[in-house]
Homo-oligomer: A and B are copies of this chain.
């Protein structure tokens, strides 16, 4: 039997939001009735930033609300899109007169509900722009006209960089264009040593044979693209880094922003070992790690695994990446 620190499973997402707000009272506040998390002190006269999606990916998105990042997060139930009305409420709350950029991970429900919310906002005379995040390389081979790549951990980079630009006074079109560039250039690939187990359930979402791990996993408990033998950290991280480098056509001398992301129950010891492996592999390929992060940012409940996100470090992005940020889950 698998156990979690949880009360009633159906309350897990809501209680976690309440706990986050209680822990960071000066940074975020949780409006349960409206279904949104917003800055404790709303920003004025800047482009607003709203993001959201299913819960179960904590600290995403509520953990990224605060100065230099999001204005509002709109959380759904576990692995379920927020409603269009919720997103509309969040969009209105994020507006301070200069329009709102909606950052949306590429899942059918999210895309639909953010689109409806955008139309509703138009009725309120709030201009909106959508930035679609579709970075998951494991879903890159889809058919023309299919759902396309999933949105995963690159959403962190989109939120950080758009957040910095908005804070610096950039206009709606400029913030949206930046976000689209980051989303278009970032790629992510993940693997799992153990699938997630939904709160209250006994068994993981999928079983793995001894000696194998799952490559190309998403963040909703779905299977990945294939199984590979369990191996040491350096080998596993290479299996993530190399396809990303190939897809992004990164050459010797290139620089990247890299995120080593724990998928839920991956501990600090393992994340630092994975981060070391990432640096060594990229350096070995002649690629400079201009900036990097290692932590649990975009999780899949308690999945044991890690994803790597690479984003080419264009010189104009670095000051935005480095700009101050103060949120529950990212601060510098």
Give every chain B residue within 8 A of A22 (Cβ-Cβ). Answer: 275-276, 279, 289, 292
A16, B269: Cβ atoms under 8 Å? yes
| A interface size (C-beta, 8 A) | 63
Q: Among B273, B292, B299, which residue has its beta carbon within 8 angstroms of that of A15?
A: B273
* Residues of chain B lying within 8 A (CB to CB) of residue A272: 15-20, 23, 58
In the complex with contacts A230-B3, A293-B23, A332-B331, A63-B268 CB distance below 8 A? yes
> Assuming A22-B292, A332-B331, is B266 touching A5 (CB within 8 A)?
yes
Contact in complex: B58, A7 (CB < 8 Å): no
- Whether the pair A232, B275 counts as a contact (CB closer than 8 A) is no
* Residue contact B274 to A5, C-beta cutoff 8 Å: yes
The yes or no answer to A6 lying at the interface (CB within 8 A) is: yes
Q: Which of A259-282 contact B (CB under 8 A)?
A: 260, 264-277, 279
The listed residue with most B CB atoms (<10 A of its CB), out of A232, A277, A329, is A232
- Please determine whether A233 and B273 come into contact, CB atoms closer than 8 angstroms: no
A190 to chain B, nearest CB (A): 12
Residues 31-53 of A, flagged 1 when their CB comes within 8 A of B and 0 if not, give: 00000000000000000000000
A260 to B16, CA, bound (A): 13
Report if A74 contacts B (CB, 8 A): no
A70 CB within 8 Å of chain B:
no
Bound-state CA distance A267–B12 (Å) is 13
Which residues of the other chain, B, contact A7 by a CB distance below 8 angstroms?
232-234, 273, 277
Contact A279 B19 (CB under 8 A): yes
Contacts of A211 in B (CB 8 A): 1
Q: Is A236 an interface residue (CB 8 A)?
A: yes
Contact of A123 with B by CB under 8 A: no
Of A130-138, A139-147, A242-250, A301-309, which stretch is located at the interface? Answer: A301-309
Identify 18 residue pairs between A and B in the complex whose beta-carbon atoms are under 8 Å apart, listed by A's number.
A3-B213, A4-B193, A4-B270, A5-B233, A5-B273, A5-B274, A6-B270, A18-B276, A19-B276, A19-B294, A22-B275, A23-B275, A56-B269, A58-B268, A59-B268, A264-B267, A269-B301, A269-B302
Binding site for B on A (CB under 8 A): 1, 3-8, 12-13, 15-20, 22-23, 55-56, 58-59, 63, 193-194, 199, 210-211, 213, 230, 232-234, 236, 260, 264-277, 279, 289, 292-294, 296, 299, 301-302, 304, 306, 326, 329, 331-332
